[in-house]
Amino acid sequence: MTRRKYVVGNWKMNGLTAMLGEAKAIFAAAETHTSVDVALCPPFTLIGAMAAAAPGAAVGGQDCHASASGAFTGSVAARMLADAGARLVIVGHSERREGFGESDADVCAKAEAALAAGLSVILCVGEPRAVRESGGAIAYVLAQIAGSLPGEFDPARLAVAYEPIWAIGTGLVPTVADVADMHGAIRAKLNEQAGAGAASAMRLLYGGSVNGDNAAELLGAGDVDGALVGGASLTAAKFVPIVEAAASL
Ligand code: 13P
């Protein structure tokens, strides 16, 4: 099955309205690369404005609450994201798992809530440095998938992003062979857990220090269908070359 390339920017806690021009430039460039799906996930505060500034563009959230509404001060429900103009949401980012104590069960509940609200989901997994160094990275990531993948889902609306924690924002990247090994293992696990049809339709993204110079190599690795990009997604000058690299494959 042919899977369309998918390049997603995660702005994390960066971005004021002054940065909407970058988003517009990114989406305008993305339109010229019709073989690649491009999305940007700004902070909550910019979702509505970004969706309005770039009609038709895929704008997403970086997290959502698992409940539809209620007394959860400071949280945002999946259907609120959809109401603000979001089409997708990232769940289970390591900065949420580590910094906010989110468990696999929490991540699973968030993914289910997002899918029920009509959003697409990018479910993140990835190992810490010590686990990679001890040789346990694949087992660690497959256990995260076992615990956080929803039971039933539309595979076209659920992508998995492999983001080794030690590669995020550090300039360090795994070897292409290690990325291919991990993505192959994830695909095999999805096959076992969700069935062959779902596993072959789902997109697997690599994230962690992706930039215009390494994107073609990383995106060309076996079982890699796209990239989840942090720092290099904040400007068109840095992000568009990654989209171009995806389009060239
Ligand atoms: P960097 O691209 O800045 O390493 O961040 C990756 C990431 O965490 C995307 O979700």
* Domain of residue 175, CATH code: 3.20.20.70
How high is the pLDDT of residue 83? 98
* Residue 70 CB partners (closer than 8 Å, separation 6+): none
Tell me which of 6, 8, 10 to substitute to probe ligand 1's pocket, judged by most ligand atoms within 8 Å of the beta carbon: 10
pLDDT per residue over 21-32, tens digit each? 999 999 999 999
How many domains, the chain? Answer: 1
Instruction: Kindly give the distance from the C-alpha atom of residue 167 to the centroid of ligand 1, in angstroms, as a whole number.
Output: 8
Instruction: Kindly give the distance from the C-alpha atom of residue 230 to the centroid of ligand 1, in angstroms, as a whole number.
Output: 3
pLDDT per residue over 65-114, tens digit each? 999 999 999 999 999 999 999 999 999 999 999 999 999 999 999 999 99
How high is the pLDDT of residue 131? 98
Q: How far is CA 127 from the centre of its chain?
A: 15
134 assigned to some structural domain: yes
111 assigned to some structural domain: yes
**Beta carbon of 228 within 6 Å of any ligand 1 atom:** yes
153 assigned to some structural domain: yes
Query: What residues of the chain score a pLDDT lower than 50?
Result: none
**Beta carbon of 26 within 6 Å of any ligand 1 atom:** no
41, with CB counted inside 10 A (0-12, 13-18, 19+), is buried
| Integer Cα distance of 60 and 66 in angstroms | 16
**Beta carbon of 62 within 6 Å of any ligand 1 atom:** no
189 assigned to some structural domain: yes
Backbone angles phi, psi at 227, to 5 degrees: -140, 145
156 assigned to some structural domain: yes
15 assigned to some structural domain: no
How high is the pLDDT of residue 225? 98
How high is the pLDDT of residue 1? 65
Domain of residue 130: give its range: 61-224
| Integer Cα distance of 53 and 100 in angstroms | 31
Q: Which atom of ligand 1 is nearest to the CA of 168?
A: 4
171 assigned to some structural domain: yes
Size of the chain, expressed as the number of residues it contains? 249
74 assigned to some structural domain: yes
